[in-house]
Copies of this chain bind each other. A is one copy, B any other.
Amino acid sequence: MRQFVVCGHDAPTTPDFPLDDLPGAAGRLDLLCRCVNAGLFLSHGIREDARVHLVLGDEYTVRFDGETARGLHPDERSTAARVREALEQREDAIGHMPADVNPGVELYRMGLADTLDALSGTVVQLHEDGAAVADADPPTDPVFVLSDHSDFTDAEAELLADAADRRVRLGPDAIHADHAISVAHNYLDTDGYTDYGGPTN
């Protein structure tokens, strides 16, 4: 299982946002939607072993599960519509019980700390001071934690200093969260393979 947790600092926590202005009025929801796309989609297929968790304003988390999702499309607008549908049912998310929104889409009343607590796996923080990914052994059941267009807040950084099993750097330049997800998938897809025809041993 590969999981990606993305902190959306300016993301909406109520459904009254327009689908026509995702970068502005919807607080860079465009970026978060691209993270869902990068996390779950293969060409003409879905990564069934992947989940993407969008943390909205440290208040709610929308979980997209590749194994059970149905009818997801890769474009930003339709994914944002799913987030909006999720937030419309926020009254049904109580404690750790999610609101069921659509097949494979659930809304939790949880911020980053509770979301990380609820996940099992190796928490990997993507960080500019981390080890180069090429030099690191691929983690088992990785939970990658990424930030949107803003840096992690001080509180998130403290939380991750405790929670993260590893800090990893993907390259010399800081890149967008969705691009980082594509690179992380490729790193895991190709590890241990040379000609991509099968395992090397």
Residues on A close to B: CB < 8 A?
19-20, 22-23, 30-31, 34, 37-38, 41-45, 73-78, 132, 134-135, 149, 169-176, 178-179, 182-183, 185-186, 189-190, 193-197
A189 touches B174 (CB 8 A): no
Q: CB within 8 A of A42: which of B20, B31, B175, B193?
A: B175
A134 touches B174 (CB 8 A): no
Can you name the residue of chain B whose Cβ is closest to the Cβ of A135? B194
Instruction: Give chain B residues whose Cβ lies under 8 Å from the Cβ of A185.
Output: 175, 179
A186 touches B174 (CB 8 A): no
Report the 7 A-B pairs with minimum CB-CB distance, sorted nearest first. Answer: A30-B75, A43-B174, A182-B182, A179-B182, A172-B196, A171-B189, A183-B186
A30 to B79, alpha carbons, bound, how many Å?
A: 12
A74 touches B176 (CB 8 A): yes
Q: Please judge, given known A-B contacts A172-B189, A186-B170, whether A38 and B179 are in contact too, CB under 8 Å.
A: yes
Instruction: Give chain B residues whose Cβ lies under 8 Å from the Cβ of A37.
Output: 34, 176
A171 touches B195 (CB 8 A): no
Q: A172-B189, A175-B182 are in contact. List 15 more A-B contacts (CB 8 A).
A: A31-B74, A41-B179, A42-B175, A43-B174, A43-B176, A74-B176, A132-B193, A135-B195, A170-B190, A172-B190, A172-B193, A172-B197, A175-B186, A179-B185, A183-B183
B170 touches A30 (CB 8 A): no
Pairs across A and B, CB under 8 Å, 17 listed: A30-B75, A30-B77, A31-B74, A34-B34, A41-B175, A42-B173, A43-B149, A45-B173, A75-B76, A132-B196, A135-B194, A135-B195, A170-B190, A171-B186, A171-B189, A175-B185, A182-B183
Minimal beta-carbon separation of A195 from chain B (angstroms): 5
B30 touches A74 (CB 8 A): yes
Q: CB within 8 A of A44: which of B38, B45, B174, B186?
A: B174
Can you name the residue of chain B whose Cβ is closest to the Cβ of A193? B172
B132 touches A190 (CB 8 A): yes
